[in-house]
């Protein structure tokens, strides 16, 4: 089975621009979560999508948004980029078999975003 894929792998943008990152989950996985990883703050949860609906959201400003398509692929968008948005953005997918528990999350390689 192919793993989680993320595109692009590297991205350089300037302040004020916007960016869209893409994530393709493992086939059959319905839940997609996004995380931001920085040296200072570590791994922080951004949001989670399931069946095209945002189910959970972390403490990030509204400039960070996402969506999920009917094939479970997901995109996240960051508008009005700031220098502090430079980070590795990780996507993870899971089967989501049980409503009351957390399934194993399978991570992609990440997209390295640099904001100049």
First to last CA, the chain: 37
Q: Which stretch binds another protein (CB under 8 A): 16-24, 40-48, 64-72, 73-81?
A: 40-48
Question: Does 45 sit near another protein (CB under 8 A)?
Answer: yes
C-beta closer to another protein: residue 24 or 31: 31
C-beta closer to another protein: residue 35 or 64: 35
Q: Which stretch binds another protein (CB under 8 A): 19-27, 48-56, 65-73, 76-84?
A: 48-56
Question: Does 85 sit near another protein (CB under 8 A)?
Answer: no
Question: Does 60 sit near another protein (CB under 8 A)?
Answer: no
**CB of 76 within 8 A of CB of 92?**
no
Residue from the set 24, 31, 68, 93 that interacts with another protein by CB under 8 A: 31
Give SS3 for 42: strand
**Burial degree of 71 (CB within 10 A; 0-12, 13-18, 19+):** exposed
Q: Which residue has the tokens 């945002």?
A: 54
Which residues, listed in sequence order, are joined to residue 63 by a DSSP beta bridge? none
């Amino acid at each position: 089975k192919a793993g989680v894929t993320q595109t692009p792998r590297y991205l350089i943008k300037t302040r004020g621009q916007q960016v869209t990152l893409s994530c393709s989950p493992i086939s059959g996985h319905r839940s997609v979560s996004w995380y931001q990883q920085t040296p200072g703050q570590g791994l922080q949860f951004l949001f989670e999508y399931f069946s095209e609906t945002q189910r959970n959201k972390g403490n990030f400003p509204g400039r960070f948004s996402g969506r999920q398509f009917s094939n479970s692929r997901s995109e996240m968008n960051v508008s009005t980029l700031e220098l502090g948005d430079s980070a590795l953005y990780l996507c993870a997918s899971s089967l989501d078999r049980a409503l009351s528990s957390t399934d194993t999350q399978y991570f992609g390689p990440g997209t390295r975003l640099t904001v100049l």
